[in-house]
Amino acid sequence: MRTNFFRSALLLFAGWTFAAAEPARALSSFDYLVEPYIGYGILGAASIGSGTYFGSTSSYGSFGGLSLGGRAGIEVLDFLFLALDGNYSPSLFVKQTDAGSALNILASAPVIANGASNTKLGLVAGVRLPLIGLRAWLGYNPWDWLQGTSSTTLNGYSIKVGAGVPVLFVFNLTVEWITSSYSTFTALGGAATSNPGGAISNSQLLLSLSAPLTF
């Protein structure tokens, strides 16, 4: 009987030890995350205030286009992830939506004309539901550069909210709403200068196909 008692006590202690150690082990475990993606920006909306560097009247329009990017970071506890996120749009399209006047970014100073490029770099943090693979994240890009066609670069930041679902093999279909604000510009290699009329803003919906890989 005493042997059975000690055996039961030992098993109970071993089970308690394992149960106590498991959360600590899980908390210290993580996977590396690499996720290249290719997307296209649509449904954009740009706003340029009166008196800015780009014209004397307010104007509205949109710019978007092809986007190549990737995320690299870690996934913890099989559902939390944190990653660097960068994307590059090599050639934007610009569309005027003003009814009464020409879009300043196309007319008086064609800095954000067709062919301009955009680079974003920042961080994203999100969650992934293990059973269905649905992911959601928030992101902040402290570096957002809009390189114009006349040797002028707009400097700003952007924020994003996104979600993704598995569609085929390792691929995910993702959608992100991105809002950018550009408050300074650099012309012809000079020092950054504030826009006289305030920030220039742009919002767009980015649809992407990504391949999130963990190892």
Domain boundaries, the chain: 29-214
Q: Kindly report the CA angle at 151 between 147 and 123, in degrees rounded to 5? A: 25
The torsion defined by the Cα of 70, 76, 80 and 84, in degrees rounded to 10, comes to: -30
**So what's the pLDDT on residue 90?**
86
Residues 134, 139, 145: CA angle, nearest 5 degrees: 135
Distance of CA 173 to the CA centre of its chain: 14
Least confident of 30-34, 38-42, 82-86, 152-156: 152-156
User: Can you give the pLDDT at residue 195?
Assistant: 59
Give the whole-angstrom CA distance, residue 134 versus residue 136. 7
Confidence class for position 69, pLDDT limits 50, 70, 90: very high
Does the pLDDT at position 53 exceed 80? no
What's the gap between Cα 122 and its chain centre? Answer: 7
Compute the distance between CA of residue 62 and CA of residue 73 in angstroms, rounded to an integer: 32
- Give the other-Cβ count within 10 Å of 146's Cβ: 25
Domain 29-214 has CATH 2.60.260.20: no
Q: Are 137 and 98 in contact (CB under 8 A)?
A: no
Q: What's the Rg (C-alpha) of the chain? A: 24
- In the predicted structure, residue 56 carries a pLDDT above the cut 70: no
- Range picked from 1-10, 88-97, 133-142 for highest mean pLDDT: 133-142
Span 98-138, pLDDT tens digits: 544 444 443 344 445 566 788 999 999 999 987 788 999 99
